[in-house]
């Protein structure tokens, strides 16, 4: 049982690293397009869809798809990282009390 838990923690950690690299590449590609087109918005726009739709999309209507892609990749990477960190913490706690 101990070995299975250790392997699970190591596997989840490797998955988190892979996920981080994969989404960093995706996010940076989208970000590069936005920077080249001088699209600017704040962090509050990332997490508030209504604010994004009312303030940013009217300013940059041609870049709507690129903005949505960037925001979706960023949100997804945050959600996946949160889940993986919670799983790693949970398995780590089980390992700590298992011994």
Q: Give the structural domain span for 88.
A: 2-98
The number of angstroms, rounded, from the C-alpha of 34 to the middle of its chain's C-alpha atoms is 18
pTM of model > 0.85: no
CA distances to 11, 33, 38, 92 from 59, rounded to whole Å, are 44, 16, 11, 47
Q: Cα(66)–Cα(40) distance, rounded to whole angstroms?
A: 12
Domain count, the chain: 1
What is the structure's pLDDT at 54?
92
Whether 95 shows a pLDDT value over 90: the answer reads: no
What is the structure's pLDDT at 76?
85
């Amino acid at each position: 049982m101990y070995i299975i838990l250790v392997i699970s923690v190591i596997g989840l950690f490797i998955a988190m690293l892979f996920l981080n690299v994969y989404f960093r590449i995706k996010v940076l590609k989208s970000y590069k397009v936005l920077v080249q087109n001088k699209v600017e918005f704040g962090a509050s726009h990332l997490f508030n869809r209504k604010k994004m739709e009312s303030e940013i999309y009217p300013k940059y209507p041609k870049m709507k798809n690129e903005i949505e892609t960037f925001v979706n990749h960023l949100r997804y990477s945050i959600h996946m990282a949160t889940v993986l960190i919670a799983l790693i913490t949970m398995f780590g706690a089980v390992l700590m009390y298992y011994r």
